[in-house]
Structure 1
Amino acid sequence: MVKGFRDFIMRGNVIELAIAVVIGVAFQAMVDSFVSAFITPLLNTFGGASSNGLGFSFRSSTPALAEATYVNISAMINAIIVFLLTALVVYLALVLPMNKLAERKAAKRAAAGIVDDPEPPSQEELLAEIRDLLKAQQRN
């Protein structure tokens, strides 16, 4: 059981996934601090000098309730920006290079004459082959 678990953990895909998660979390923190320090104040300037930022409060008779019902639109925009920037960098730093590496490996294998396993036949192709074999058996 321990040997099987060790083999599973030592597989390349699991280690690569762990590295990707760590890099993604670290980059997300960096993007989040950039957005909080730069984008949020920029968005809050559109809310006006006397507001908490870009957003609105639900109608209320007391100022304390108006503050409690404030909907901060700039925080939602910031979260979207953080997500998009993080996804973009993960794509550019991890996915794109891995795709290029896979293309190079495939090109090297093709140049060396190594043919990958062909795609398995579809269900329709298998059924047609079975039908033809059954017809041939009935003729004999």
Structure 2
Amino acid sequence: MLKEFKDFLLRGNIVELAVAFVLGVAFGALVNSFVNNLVMPIVAMIIGKPDFSNLTFTINDAVFRYGAFITDAITFVATAAAVFFFIVKPMNALTARFVKPGEEEVPDEERRHQELLAALRAR
């Protein structure tokens, strides 16, 4: 039973998943720092303040903190934009640069059709 557990832990997929998780957490911290320290000051420059958490209204002793929601929404959009423009777009451009025109991926169904035709021709 211990051998099976050791084999499970040392299997390639779980180690790769653990590494990906750790790198994902570190990357998330990096993106949050970028947004909070570089993007939100630009928002503060344009709008006047980077944090709207103080904006509230009260109905029957219930306090609605709509300012915190606005701050979170701006942070989300800024984070998504940072990931898209600084990670996704450059990676797509890099991938397109290094992929040769003949290396395009053939869909599974098309590949099966080609294999069937090759098998029929071999007869």
TM-score of the superposition, structure 2-length normalised?
0.51
1:82 aligns with 2:74: no
Structure 2 residue aligned with 1:15: 15
Superposed CA deviations along residues 23-56 of structure 1, whole A, max 9, x for unmatched, are 10011111111110011111223333xx564688
Gaps of 5+ in 2: 104-111, 113-123
TM superposition shift of 1:57: 2.7
Contact 1:58/1:69 (<8 A) preserved? yes
Gaps of 5+ in 1: 61-65, 105-117, 119-140
**2:67 counterpart SS class:** strand
User: What percentage of residue pairs aligned between the two structures are identical?
Assistant: 33
Change in 2 beyond 3 A, CA 1:54/1:23: same
Contact 1:31/1:82 (<8 A) preserved? yes
Contact 2:50/2:71 (<8 A) preserved? no
CA distance in 2, matches of 1:19, 1:79: 25
**2:43 counterpart SS class:** helix
Contact 1:47/1:53 (<8 A) preserved? no
Structure 2 residue aligned with 1:112: none
TM-score of the superposition, structure 1-length normalised?
0.46
Name which of structure 1's ranges 8-17 and 38-47 shifts more when overlaid on structure 2.
38-47
Change in 2 beyond 3 A, CA 1:22/1:42: same
Change in 2 beyond 3 A, CA 1:52/1:20: closer
Contact 1:47/1:55 (<8 A) preserved? no
**1:57 counterpart SS class:** coil
Letter of the aligned partner of 1:47 in structure 2?
A: I
Change in 2 beyond 3 A, CA 1:58/1:75: same
User: 1 or 2 for the larger relative contact order (CA 8 Å, sep ≥6)?
Assistant: 1
TM superposition shift of 1:80: 4.1
Change in 2 beyond 3 A, CA 1:4/1:80: farther
Q: CA RMSD in A?
A: 3.7
Letter of the aligned partner of 2:22 in structure 1?
A: V
The size of the alignment, in residue pairs, is 87
